[in-house]
Amino acid sequence: MSDPKKVLIIDDDPDFVEGIKAILDGADYETSVAYNSKDGWEALTHNRYDLLCLDIMMGRGAEGVMLARKIRNDAVLREMPVLIITSIREQIAFLFPGQAVHPGFVPVDELVEKPVEPKMLLEKAAALIAEAEGRHRGAE
Amino acid sequence: MRILGGVRIGRPRRIVVIDDEEIVRDSCTAILADGDYEVLTAEDGETGLQLVAEKGADLVFVDLKMPGKSGFEVIEGISDIDPTIVTIVITGFATVSSAVDAMKRGAYDFLPKPFTPDEFRLISRRGLERRALVLEATELRREREALRENFAAIVSHEIKSPLSAIQQNLFVLSGELADALTDDQKRRLDRMKSRIDDMLGLIRTWMRWSSADVSVIKESFAPVLLSGPIAKAIESVEPLAQRKSVYLSSEIEDPALAVIGDEGTLTEAFLNVISNAVKYSFDEGKVVVRVHQAQGKVVVSVCDNGPGIPAEDLAHVFDDFYRARGTETAGGAGLGLGLTRRIVEAHDGTITAESEIGKGSTFVITVPAAPSRDDAGRLGDESAGLGKGEA
């Protein structure tokens, strides 16, 4: 049996994190949590994860967006799949006036809206990890 | 006060005296010298306006009779520079009637010559108080507007996030407890999830509503049988009515009455009006919802025999964030009727309220009836199912 997949959750709402973490733990993922983008970045630069679950709106604004951009500009981290979990899917236009209105406004792999059904979360997670591993093998 | 402090803190209030008589300028400066004011003077209207434009002012005294630019022109010029600046005209004894004219043009008050130092101090203080109130009112209006515009963001963070967290954990719990719960417990858990789903859906609608223009809701317009949203709204209010022993009934002239609209927001609009009627009713009161058609329009009236709404509040009940005096503790954000008005207006409809103290209130929503083949406002048999099952 292969090692459990490592998932990092970055979200500033501890109650929501518990709900996500319990689902992933129940499916034998090895989960870690950061409750702000600073700790999240710290964790990302010191450990390797198979998947990142990222909240967009943290702290005083769209800190998750900044983090996602930072990740995409990092040669190593950009290989890691990112699942954005957000409560603002429909409000992006409002909260980011004058900016491109598209779920791909940050180059992330997937975007789901809070709350997320357990089945959907697990499907997205598995698919993203499998896809990344496929890319990785193809590159070798 | 916080708002005023934000604007004025750190510098003394600035008073400008525009008068061609040197003795008046000098004595005004001398009288105010002992207060925490900065007093500037100008000997004619032109110079005075320049001074106000460059330096700003809280309060400006303007002599009505000056060579060159008249006092009237100066008052209007100041209002053009900054309408929140308070102006007071200084006028000779014989020209009180022109002082009244000046007030009609925006001056706040007038001071007849000759005046005593005390009179001048008093009117200066009143003028500055007026200025503070004007600034506060402007700031409050701006804040209210910003609040309305940012409503989506506020709702998103303050309401939707906790609900999402609750729902997320219910999802997990129902999985984890799948084997431990009885069917009845599972049913209750499902009900909780479905109620939260309803709320999340409603919040999404609100957010769409407040963050985008009306056309977004109009895109999903379809024929809606009014009996559907009315029944749903009544069903939601029924528990509250029972708690208060309020008799809630409906009289629907024709169950086939229909409008072109959005079922979700229409339900929300009716719900707001009906729940208000019940909320503000006396115990054992009566609330009647009537639906009928008149002149190509569908009319929904909600009538209660509650305490009634005072006239000064009635004029504002459809404003966002307005809370009538004495209702601050009744719960709610003062958004219900404002939102209702905007929903109704998006449906090309109107909402009005009539009330009599001690007798009760009637709210009337009028929306154009859906056109149809047989009879305006009635849907034909084939389409009678439309609007149902979209909940």
> Average pLDDT, stretch B78-98?
85
> Domain with B281 in it: what CATH number?
3.30.565.10
Same domain assignment for residues B364 and B245 = yes
Mean pLDDT, rounded, for B46-60: 93
| A63 closest CA partner among A89, A96, A37 | A37
Residue B161 placed within a domain: yes
- Same domain assignment for residues B104 and B187: no
Q: What percent of chain B has pLDDT over 70?
A: 81
Residues of A in Cβ contact (< 8 Å) with B167: 115
The pLDDT, as a whole number, for residue B287 is 95
Closest B-chain CA to A94: B211
Residue B341 has pLDDT above 60, yes or no: yes
Q: Do B360 and B224 share a domain, yes or no?
A: yes
Assembly ipTM: 0.76
The answer to whether position B42 is within a domain reads yes
pLDDT tens by residue, A47-85: 999 999 998 877 666 678 778 878 888 888 988 988 888
Q: Smallest Cβ distance to B165: which of A16, A91, A93?
A: A16
Per residue in A22-52, pLDDT (tens digit) is: 999 999 999 999 999 899 999 999 999 999 9
Per cent of chain B over pLDDT 90 is: 40
* A contacts of B171 (beta carbons < 8 Å): 19, 23, 115, 117-118
Residue B376 pLDDT exceeds 50: no
Residue (of A4, A14, A28, A40) closest to A122 by Cα position? A28
> Is B20 inside any structural domain?
yes
- The verdict on residue B388 lying in a domain is no
Q: Is the pLDDT of residue B1 over 50?
A: no
User: Mean pLDDT throughout B132-155?
Assistant: 77
Q: What is the pLDDT of residues B233-266, one digit of tens each?
A: 898 888 888 888 999 999 998 888 999 998 878 8
What pLDDT, on a 0 to 100 scale, did the predictor assign at position B315? 80
A6-139: what CATH class? alpha beta
Same domain, B172 and B185: yes
Give domain status of residue B380, yes or no: no
pLDDT score of B330: 47
- Give domain status of residue B379, yes or no: no
B294 and B242 in a common domain: yes
Q: Given this model, what pLDDT does residue B4 score?
A: 41
On whether both B365 and B235 belong to a single domain, the answer is yes
Of B215, B239, B273, the last residue of a domain is B215
Q: Which residue has the higher pLDDT, B276 or B319?
A: B276
- Tell me the residue range of the domain where B131 lies: 2-139
Q: CB-hemisphere CA count at 13 Å for B202? A: 16
Position A90 scores a pLDDT of 45
Number of domains in chain B: 3
Contacts of A29 in chain B (CB under 8 A): none
Q: How far apart are CA B153 and CA B159, in angstroms?
A: 10
Q: Is B52 within 8 Å of B27 (Cβ atoms)? A: no
B157 and B231, same domain (yes or no): no
Residue of B nearest to A119 (CA): B171
Closest CA to B234 of B277, B293, B194, B282: B277
* B211 neighbourhood in chain A, CB within 8 Å: 90-91, 93-94
Alpha carbon distance B19, B92 (integer Å): 12
Q: Are the beta carbons of A11 and A20 closer than 8 angstroms? A: yes
Determine the residue among B148, B157, B172 to mutate to test chain A binding: the one whose Cβ has the most chain A Cβ atoms within 10 Å: B172
Backbone angles phi, psi at B148, to 5 degrees: -65, -45
| Same-domain pairing of B225 and B368 | yes
Chain B neighbors of A87, CB-CB under 8 A: 156, 160-161, 164
Q: Do B172 and A19 touch (CB under 8 A)?
A: yes
- Would you say B100 and B70 are in contact if contact means Cβ atoms under 8 Å apart? no
Q: Please, which pLDDT band fits residue B311 given cuts at 50, 70 and 90?
A: confident
In a domain, B286, yes or no: yes
Question: Does residue B222 sit in the same domain as residue B211?
Answer: no
B176 and A22 in contact by Cβ < 8 A? yes
Judgement on whether residues B296 and B180 belong to the same structural domain of the protein: no
Tell me whether residue B110 is in a domain: yes
Q: Tokens 């008093």 identify what position?
A: B122
> Are residues B203 and B152 located together in one domain of the fold?
yes
Tell me what pLDDT residue B384 has: 42
Q: Is the pLDDT higher at B140 or at B304?
A: B304
Q: What is the pLDDT of residues B152-200, one digit of tens each?
A: 666 666 788 889 999 999 999 998 898 999 999 998 998 888 888 878 8
Domain boundary among B215, B236, B254: B215
Residues B238 and B174 in one domain: no
Shortest CB distance from B175 goes to which of A18, A114, A118? A118
- Report the residue from A19, A91, A116 with minimal CB separation from B152: A91
- Sheet (strand B360-368) strand order: B247-252, B286-294, B297-304, B360-368, B350-356
Chain A to chain B, count of Cβ pairs less than 8 Å apart? 69
